[in-house]
Amino acid sequence: MKKLPLLFFCLILALSGCTAPSAPADSFKAKFKAKSNGVTLKGKIYSSSNNTVTIKISYPDALSGYVYSFKNNKLNLSYNNLYLKSESEYLPEGDFSRTVYSVLRSLKKEDNIKVDKSYNSLTEFRGGCESGKFTLVCDSIGKIKEISLKENNFNIKFSSISLIN
pLDDT digits (tens, 9 = 90+) for 60-82: 999 999 999 999 989 999 999 99
Provide the terminal-to-terminal Cα distance of the chain, rounded to the nearest Å.
Answer: 48
Residue 112 DSSP label: G
Quote the number of domains for the chain: 1
Residue 13 is assigned to a structural domain of this protein: no
| Mean pLDDT, rounded, of the chain | 87
**Cα-Cα-Cα-Cα dihedral of 34, 67, 49, 137, to 10°?**
0
Q: Are 77 and 68 in contact (CB under 8 A)?
A: yes
| Residue with more model confidence, 16 or 83 | 83
The reply to whether 151 falls in a domain is yes
Q: Which amino acid is at 53?
A: V
**Could you tell me if residue 15 is inside a domain?**
no
Domain of 136 in residue numbering reads as 20-163
Q: What is the helix (H) or strand (E) element at residue 11, kind and residue range?
A: helix 3-15
Query: The CATH number of the domain where 132 resides is what?
Result: 2.50.20.10
State mean pLDDT over 130-147. 95
Q: Which residue, among 141, 79, 136, has the nearest Cα to 102 in the 3D structure?
A: 136
